[in-house]
Amino acid sequence: MAVNLSHGFLMEYGFNLPPLVLYFEFNPQSITRTRTVNITMGNAPGAKGGYGFTTPMDTPRVAQGVSVEPEKFDLTILLDATDRMADPNAIGHTNAITLGIAPELDTLRSMVEPKSQGPGGFTTLAALGLGGARAFQRDTHPSVLLLIWGTHILPVFLTSVQVEENAHLPSLQPYRANVTLSFQVIEGDNPFYKVEQIRQAIGAALNSVPTIATTVI
């Protein structure tokens, strides 16, 4: 049975040269998406802890004690240099037979390193001496990334990288690994999230129309 693999990109949104880009084959068995709603009990205004209501006009008051956390999700990707190592005509063949997937793993590490703003808006790893070496300090910031797969383009922070190396070259460089990535979506006033909101609203409307029609019939 043929396996349908989609391709994904994780791309830094900034002025780094060269830009940080990770290209990967994307065929996950599952994606875990989490959105948390925090409800404050007992301190919200109004009767019954602020959550009593009689009409839809009351819903803005009812929701005053509720906050919604940005969406978070985890996915696992496979990084594998086997095909590039076997094909002398493949792009990156030389790097693959000597370094395996080390460049891809270095890219992920660079994406979670603190960055410092440089002249002209360019950013540099803080570890190179332009800011705090490890922790995010006042003059450093995390990378803003675009996660692109299928019809989705999501602005995200990469919050966790877990690498399970399961095949190595004689030099002990890994050439195959399962990598679990954790993200937090950057919600708010940015063009990528606005497009995602529009896509989500259209999808919800497409779901509502047949549901309402079935109920009426």
pLDDT tens string 157-215: 999 999 999 999 999 999 999 999 999 999 989 999 999 999 999 999 998 876 666 66
pLDDT of residue 115: 78
Cα 88 from Cα 96, distance rounded (Å): 10
Within a domain: 51: no
Question: Is residue 117's pLDDT more than 60?
Answer: yes
Within a domain: 78: yes
User: Which comes out higher in pLDDT, residue 89 or 59?
Assistant: 89
User: Which comes out higher in pLDDT, residue 119 or 111?
Assistant: 111
Within a domain: 162: yes
pLDDT of residue 183: 96
pLDDT of residue 1: 46
What does pTM read for this prediction?
Answer: 0.79
Within a domain: 160: yes
Q: Which domain holds residue 114?
A: 6-35+70-194
Q: Across the chain, which distance is largest between two alpha carbons, in Å?
A: 73
Within a domain: 1: no
Question: Is residue 127's pLDDT more than 70?
Answer: no
Task: Give Cα separations from 13 to 50, 169, 187 (angstroms).
Answer: 42, 33, 15
Within a domain: 52: no
Within a domain: 138: yes
Average of per-residue pLDDT across 129-152: 73
Tokens of 116: 């410092």
Q: Is the dihedral of CA 205, 206, 209, 212 positive or negative?
A: negative
Could you tell me the pLDDT band of residue 85, with boundaries at 50, 70 and 90? very high
The predicted-structure confidence for 7-62, as pLDDT tens digits, reads as follows 889 999 987 777 899 998 887 767 899 999 888 765 555 545 567 778 888 888 77
CA 214 to chain centre: 37
Cα 70 from Cα 142, distance rounded (Å): 17
Number of domains in the chain: 1
Within a domain: 47: no
